[in-house]
Structures are given as C-alpha cells and as structure tokens.
C-alpha cells in the first residue's frame, strides 16, 4: 500500500511540535518536506524549533525549508505569551541542531516543486499563518489543482477570537494570506478551527510525555494544530462536519481576520470547505499517545 505523501507548513511552537511528532510516527505516511513560516515565533526560531523536534525523533533526514519571515500586509504578531520567547517553552537546548541543516532552496519554491513532482498525491497540512501558501499560489496559480487535499488549522466558526475580539491567531497574523488561500485553493479543503479545538480538547491526565509537558510549561494541553494533522493522516477520525463556503473579513475594528461562513450562499462560491465539528476523541487520544512514546 502506498504511503500518504504529506508536506507540513508550520510555525513550530508547542502544538506544531506535537503535530510533527504525530506525522513522524504514522506508519503509512511519508513526509516530503517541512516548510517554515513566521508565526508563533520569528522565522529563525521556527527553523531551529523544527530541527530540534526532528532531532529528538531521530529524523533529521527530512528536509526543512525557510519560507516567509513576515506577513503580506499585516503587522507581525507572535505568540510568546503561550509558546515562550523561543516558541518551545524556553526550554534550554544546548545540543540543538544548527541552521546549516536548513535547505538552501527557499520554502515557497520548494513547496511548489514538491507538489509538481507529486501531482495529485500530496496532502498539504498548514498549521501556520498562510503566507507561504498565498505566495505559492500567486507564483503558480495552477498549484491547488495539483494537490490531493489541504488541511488547515485556523479561523473560527463562532466569531470567538484568541488574539483579537473575533480573530484566531493564524488568520490574524496574516489576514490577507488567509483570504487568498480560501479564495484560490479549490482542492478538497478541511479546516480545524479555534473553537473546534477547544471543544474537542484532551485532559492532561491522558498525556505521558515529559517533553510535551516541559515545552508547554505546565499550561495545559491544547492540541490545536494536531487535529488538522491527525485528520490528514486518517479522516475517519472526523465524526461530524459540515460543508460551507467561507471567506475572511479583511476590514473592521473587531472583525478583521474573522472567518465568515456563508450559510445563505450569498457569496456564490462553488468551492465549499469541510469544517470539522467533532472527532473520535478516543482514536485521537491514541494517536497522540503513540506519537509521544
């Protein structure tokens, strides 16, 4: 049986680290590469964190690429209040791999090339602000047609923000990029939103890995990015979802960055995305536990 080909687009903080670890342990998955983006922490630290996770898992053979270091138009935002100044809980790592291990090819160009070389076979999992994806589709408008599927962690469904009044971090960190991606990527698209991850969270007592506890500084286990990755590996994990056309609000003092769900079809968009509502928590918990062994 052929392995599922994944590309991970990350801004490696705590939850991205968990998602990467889950992908690495999955027996039927091949990670073609990891592209990095600004987000939870500045790009240089994202690269260092990604390499740290790969080293912990003895998988430095997977290529890591440097993508965009800033959003298209938005002001830079980071999440050091949750992820720590370095993005991984400020845990010392004297033996962390150096940036010389980062591939010379730029992240966006690498993303385009990997998808072209594996047309119709690649599932792209985006757990960062969507800058890399937005730039890629501007350079190659045909790119979405070459993807098998796209899984995104970002946006919201109840206008509950975690960064602004109505905005989720990834969509607020590059609102224009989120808008472009939801307009231009017409491949099968599944979104794990902020409120969804909150309502499907796991208690800490189900976790046993000291590394994960250490980098979260004991602040609890919110596996935001891991849900998108888990669904990309095994979509039978999703037990309730809905299909709806979506867009992103670009203006508004309170609503900029908010994902808009068009239940009345007023946007006249043919492409509808799958919004995750509920997952099989027992199956998800087992996937998490397996990734932390």
DSSP string, 120-153: TTEEEEE-S-THHHHHHHHH-TTHHHH-SEEEEE
Q: Which CATH class is domain 4-291?
A: alpha beta
Q: What pLDDT is recorded for position 221?
A: 54
**Helical pair 131-139 and 175-184, crossing angle rounded to 10 deg:** 50
Domain boundaries, the chain: 4-291
Q: What are phi and psi of 279, to 5 degrees?
A: -125, 165
Alpha-carbon distances of 140 from 145, 183, 184, 211, rounded to whole Å: 10, 14, 11, 39
Catalytic residues: 11
Q: Mean pLDDT for each consecutive 10-residue tract of the chain (293 residues)?
A: 93 91 95 97 95 95 98 78 47 70 97 98 98 98 98 95 93 97 98 93 53 45 85 97 98 95 96 97 90 77
Q: Is residue 67 within 8 Å of residue 106, measured between CB atoms?
A: yes
Q: What pLDDT is recorded for position 76?
A: 78
For residue 150, give both structure tokens: 């796209």
User: CA–CA separation, 257 vs 95, rounded Å?
Assistant: 38
For residue 267, with 0-12 CB atoms within 10 Å meaning exposed, 13-18 middle and 19 or more buried, which class applies? exposed
């Amino acid at each position: 049986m052929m392995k599922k080909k994944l590309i991970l687009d990350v801004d490696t903080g705590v939850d991205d680290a968990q998602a990467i670890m889950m992908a690495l342990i999955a027996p039927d998955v091949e990670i073609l590469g990891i592209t990095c983006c600004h987000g939870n922490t500045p790009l240089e630290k994202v690269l260092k964190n990604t390499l740290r996770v790969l080293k912990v898992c003895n998988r430095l053979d997977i290529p890591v690429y440097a993508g965009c270091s800033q959003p298209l138009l938005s002001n830079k935002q980071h999440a050091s209040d949750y992820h720590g100044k370095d993005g991984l809980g400020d845990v010392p790592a004297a033996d962390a791999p150096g940036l010389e291990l980062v591939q010379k090819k730029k992240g966006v160009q690498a993303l385009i090339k990997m998808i072209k070389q594996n047309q119709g076979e690649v599932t792209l999992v985006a757990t960062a602000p969507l800058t890399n994806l937005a730039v890629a589709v501007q350079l190659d408008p045909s790119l979405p047609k070459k993807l098998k599927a796209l899984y995104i962690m970002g946006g919201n469904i109840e206008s509950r923000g975690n960064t602004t009044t109505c905005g989720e971090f990834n969509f607020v960190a590059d609102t224009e990029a989120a808008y472009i991606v939801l307009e231009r990527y017409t491949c099968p698209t599944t979104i794990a939103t902020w409120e969804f991850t909150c309502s499907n969270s796991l208690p800490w007592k189900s976790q046993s890995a000291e590394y994960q506890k250490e980098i979260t500084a004991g602040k609890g286990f919110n596996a935001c990015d891991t849900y998108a990755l888990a669904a990309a590996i095994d979509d039978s994990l999703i037990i309730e979802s809905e299909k709806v056309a979506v867009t992103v609000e670009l203006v508004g003092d309170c609503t900029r960055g908010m994902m808009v769900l068009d239940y009345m079809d007023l946007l006249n968009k043919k492409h509808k995305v799958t919004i995750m509502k509920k997952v099989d928590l027992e199956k998800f918990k087992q996937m998490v536990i397996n990734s932390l062994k």
